[in-house]
Amino acid sequence: MERLANITVTPLTPHVGAEIGNVDLTKPLAPEQVSGIKDALAKHGVIFFREQPIDLEMHRRFAMYFGELHIHVGGEGTASKPDEKYPEARRQHFDANSKRVSGEVWHTDQSCAAIPPMASILHQRIIPPDGGGDTLFASMYAAYDALSPRMKTFLSGLTATHDGAKLFDKGTKTVYPVSSHPIVAVHPWTGKKLLYVNRGQTTLIDDLPPDESAAILEFLFEHIECPEWQMRFHWREHSIAFWDNRCTQHRAIWDYWPNVRSGYRVQIKGTQPPIPATS
């Protein structure tokens, strides 16, 4: 266990994830608490808080300590809907009438945007009574580090196209953005290299023939999805997950139908496109 600005930080795996304690998110935070939480996020990629019965105003206040709020690039669909009062807050409610849940494949949030959201904060209010509904997270630092030197050299300087229509609800008429981002990016806080492609939204490697692009992307997707750099988070009522979209990916597990899982997600606006690695 670590201590940062009077909060406790308990790492959950060697590569990704930590649980934060000794903080009450129903109350305003002191600057040193915000700094400690930011440091923990930078180090662990995703951080978790337990027993935090926050309302939407508290949820938004917590997110705004770390930047401006982001509005989802998509419209209203069957999977999730923006709150009427706070459009930055997206209700994520799934029950016996749900045909699907958001994020059933590995992805990072809205990588199709020219400037993707920096981070996401999900608060679960209702949890399936029989368990289930876990979320998987993976470190893109560890995924990059595990590549061979020759593969790292090959990928350096390449870009890939990200298309939101690949992942988001096909039942809407929304036109989703399409953007090109570096395959190997550098995190602006840590300076560490990471992989920035995901099965949910990456459609092709730019400037490669389609068959070569498809083969290399499939290799990268399978590599990213290795369990060695993953963790699995078990939700409880009023748990919060706060993840950095720049260096992690996640996947929702829909194993609880017809039970209910319900909560809200708020996102923090990114300040720049993914930064290409220079060497």
Q: Would you call 107 a catalytic residue per the annotation?
A: yes
Both structure tokens of 204: 């092709």
Q: Would you call 3 a catalytic residue per the annotation?
A: no
Q: Which comes out higher in pLDDT, residue 171 or 71?
A: 71
Confidence grade of residue 166 (pLDDT, cut at 50, 70, 90): confident
Give me the pLDDT at residue 72, please: 77
Q: Would you call 265 a catalytic residue per the annotation?
A: yes
Confidence grade of residue 253 (pLDDT, cut at 50, 70, 90): very high
Please compute, for residue 111, the number of CA atoms within 13 A of its CA located in the half-sphere on the CB side.
Answer: 34
Give me the pLDDT at residue 78, please: 45
Give 250's strand partners.
107, 137
Share of the chain above pLDDT 70, in %: 92
Which domain, by its residues, includes 220?
2-95+103-276
Which residue among 44, 109, 199, 261 is the active-site one?
109
Distance CA 127, CA 77 (A): 22
Domain count, the chain: 1
Which residue among 44, 59, 60, 107 is the active-site one?
107
Give me the pLDDT at residue 183, please: 99
Q: Would you call 255 a catalytic residue per the annotation?
A: no
* CATH assignment at residue 89: 3.60.130.10
End-to-end CA distance of the chain: 35
pLDDT of 237 > 90? The answer is yes
pTM of the model: 0.93
Distance CA 251, CA 24 (A): 27
When the pLDDT of each residue in the chain is averaged and rounded to a whole number, the result is 93
pLDDT digits (tens, 9 = 90+) for 124-145: 999 999 999 999 999 999 999 9
SS3 134: coil
SS3 146: coil
Distance CA 215, CA 213 (A): 6
Alpha-carbon dihedral angle through residues 184, 271, 239, 232, given to the nearest 10 degrees:
0
